Amino acid sequence: MTRMRAVDAVVLILEKEGATETFGLPGAAINPLYSAMKAHGGIRHTLARHVEGASHMADGYTRSAPGNIGVCLGTSGPAGTDMITGLYAAAADSQPILCITGQAPVAVLDKEDFQAVDIASIAKPVTKMAKTVLEAGQVPGVFQTAFQLMRSARPGPVLIDLPIDVQQTEIEFDIDAYEPLAPAKPAATSAQAEKILDLIAEAEHPIIIAGGGIINADAADRLVEFAELTSIPVSPTLMGWGVIPDDHPLAAGMVGIQTHVRYGNASFLESDLVIGIGNRWANRHTGNLEVYRKGRKFVHIDIAPTQIGRVFAPDYGVASDAGAALDALLAAARSRSGGVPDFTGWARECTARKSTEHRKTNFTDVPIKPQRVYQEMNQAFGRDVTYVSTIGLSQIAGAQMLHVYRPRHWINAGQAGPLGWTGPAALGVAKGKPGETVVALSGDYDFQFMIEELAVGAQHQIPYVHVVVNNSYLGLIRQSQRGFEMDYEVSLAFENINTAGSASSGYGVDHVAVAQGLGCKALRVEDPELIGEGLRVAKELMDEHQVPVVVEVILERVTNISMGTALDQINEFETLAQTPADAPTALSPMGELAAAK
């Protein structure tokens, strides 16, 4: 055993647990932990400009690769309260991030000391554990429990609050004797897998809804293997996008009332059995439940027992880690007497819809229509790009028109959708994917929320491309206000006295100038025929300078993006009869899969 400060033990534990990427702001109450990190030398740190931004960076880093846990640091007062939105976003999407706050001394916790707040009580609703540690000897055990909780069952964030005197108190600690606790995860049984296969055998048009739990379980390869074994089409949720490549013959397209593709909804409405794996039945996915459920049976597999029946009661529910469930299904299917049914014909019907049911993207209008931007992004960035986005018409249209081919290559704050998440999250993703192309997608309002974090990318040389589609509107809110016959307090436009004479002068904020002032490269595109060239130049600038590069595309002020209240009631606002040149039609013969079984 070695005698050391509690914070020195914390740093050793972070290293042993593999959580060595931190984001945050030093402050008086957290400085002891920073001193331990400096002395140790093995914990990397990125200095944020806002603590909420730091929490989103930690979130993005967590989502970038299997096993990652991003760490956010700050004081417990305003820094801790700034972390709450980040904790909420992580909890909502089942992401493990660790927030560590520095607190006032134990003796003054109830004396309204400077920047002292009961951050543990504030954070409890959006964490798996939030605890102020009052005894230094408990610090190792609290961190050990925290890491186990973050990784167990449905993953999620934890906040640990450390009073400054607790941080500096010496304890006896031996890192060689410390071992991470094994996470607890439920696993489907062979009997449960057989029951699911029985339901599949009774179906004619089964479809798999593949959720983010498959990505959390790092089980995308097993999902594709099971789909190919059974020829069952797969529809990813927004959080599961990438578990099967968009151009795979069995990729049926995303289903939903906002983020969806037309052929995905059409195929779902023809299904008679829905197998949800690692999904939540989110309302933007299901829309009107009567339409969603009518005429079909449901299997729901989720790691959290409390999710089974939470939105509606399935015909059969299984509490299981997605990877363990797919292992059980694969084993049962391979050993099943008489094999599994062949749904090749049904899969071909779904593939045929992918060849025709698209929305128009090849617009040549000036100002630019947003659909054209996503067409050009598909062509410019290819199959290996990682997209990062959060909320708004930009995200909804992007999910309708972009293509994703690998897990963790669409990174999105799905349930919480906080404005401002995209930029700092993209920095965290880029830290977790060095050398890879990371592209953030924002509307102008999302971009403005935490625009100061661009300076973090410039200072720490964290390169990514940020595409900003600028219509100078809160576009999604404006579209939703149509039901109230109003357009109220949703315009961001004004005559900027510094951009007089420019085509974007009436659009208000000069995003290019702001980005350049923060140390980044930036360019503006106003001609649809120049979008592709702008994206190409942005990649070159990113590679050359190793900083964020902003591409602002000036859009028409008003565009209504297709959405509705039910899967069979989607309002279309633009031309439909077109197959874009870059559409992943997946016309490879289904017979190849059947022959492989």
- Cβ atoms of 395 and 468 closer than 8 Å: no
Domain identity same for 13 and 61: yes
- How far, in Å, CA of 398 to CA of 411, rounded? 12
- Residue 355's pLDDT is what? 82
Same domain flag for 133 and 157: yes
The answer to whether residue 570 is domain-embedded is: no
> What is the domain-level CATH number for residue 101?
3.40.50.970
How many Cα atoms sit within 13 Å of 4 on the Cβ side? Answer: 21
At 406, the pLDDT band (50, 70, 90 cuts) reads: very high
Q: What is the mean pLDDT of the chain?
A: 92
Listed residues 118, 151, 177: the one ending a domain: 177
What integer pLDDT is reported at residue 417 of this predicted model?
A: 83
**Residue 467 located in a structural domain:** yes
Mean pLDDT, range 483-504, rounded to an integer: 81
pLDDT (0 to 100) of residue 593: 37
Query: Among the listed ranges 5-14, 54-63, 309-318, 561-570, which one has the minimum average pLDDT value?
Result: 561-570
| 115 shares its domain with 204 | no
Please check whether residues 381 and 503 belong to one and the same domain.
Answer: yes
Give me the long-range contacts of 514-519 (CB less than 8 A, separation at least 24): 514/451, 515/451, 515/454, 515/548, 515/550, 518/451, 518/452, 518/454, 518/455, 518/458, 519/454, 519/455, 519/458, 519/459, 519/547
- Segment 396-409 shows an average pLDDT of 95
What integer is the mean pLDDT of 170-198?
A: 96
Q: How far apart are CA 308 and CA 299, in angstroms?
A: 10
Domain co-membership, 393 together with 497: yes
Whether residues 405 and 486 share a domain: the answer is yes
For residue 589, pLDDT beyond 70: no
Higher per-residue pLDDT: 393 or 531: 531
Q: Is residue 185 part of a domain?
A: no
Asked which of 363-367, 422-426, 460-464 is least confident by mean pLDDT, the reply is: 363-367
Regarding whether 512 and 374 lie in a shared domain, the answer is yes
Ranking 105-114, 115-124, 248-257, 496-505 by mean pLDDT, the lowest is 496-505
What is the predicted pLDDT for the residue at 575?
A: 58
Boundary-marking domain end, from 177, 210, 238 = 177
Residue 158 contacts residue 58 (beta carbons within 8 Å):
no
567 found inside a domain = no
Domain assignment present for residue 438? The answer is: yes
Q: 230 and 167, same structural domain?
A: no
Are residues 128 and 220 located together in one domain of the fold? no
Q: What is the CA radius of gyration of the chain?
A: 25
Q: Helices 370-381 and 393-401 meet at what angle, rounded to 10?
A: 50
Same domain membership, residue 42 and residue 10: yes
Same-domain pairing of 318 and 422: no
The pLDDT of residue 503 is 65
Check residue 1 and give its pLDDT.
Answer: 79
The pLDDT tens digits of the residues spanning 552-584 come to 999 988 888 889 999 999 998 865 544 444 555
Nearest to 251 by CA among 583, 572, 597: 583
Q: How far is CA 310 from CA 283, 293, 307, 317, 414, in A?
A: 12, 14, 5, 11, 18
Does 198 reside within a domain?
A: yes
Structural domains counted in the chain: 3
pLDDT over 60 (residue 365) = yes
Segment 209-230 mean pLDDT: 97
Q: Among 36-50, 106-120, 174-188, which is the least confidently predicted range?
A: 106-120
pLDDT at 392 over 90: no
How high is the pLDDT of residue 487? 84
User: Could you give the CA distance from residue 315 to residue 200 in angstroms, rounded to a whole number?
Assistant: 12
The reply to whether 85 falls in a domain is yes
Last residue of a domain, one of 132, 150, 177: 177
Q: Does 251 map to a domain?
A: yes
Contact call for residues 116 and 77 (beta carbons, < 8 A): yes
Does residue 472 share a domain with residue 383? yes
DSSP letters of 457-500?
A: HHHHT---EEEEEE-SB-HHHHHHGGGGT---S-B-----TTST
User: For residue 343, what is the domain's CATH number?
Assistant: 3.40.50.1220
**pLDDT band with cut points at 50, 70 and 90 for residue 284:** very high
What residue numbers bound the domain in which 306 lies? 190-356+586-596
Summarize the confidence of residues 268-286 as an average pLDDT: 96
**Least trusted range by pLDDT, from 107-111, 270-274, 524-528:** 107-111
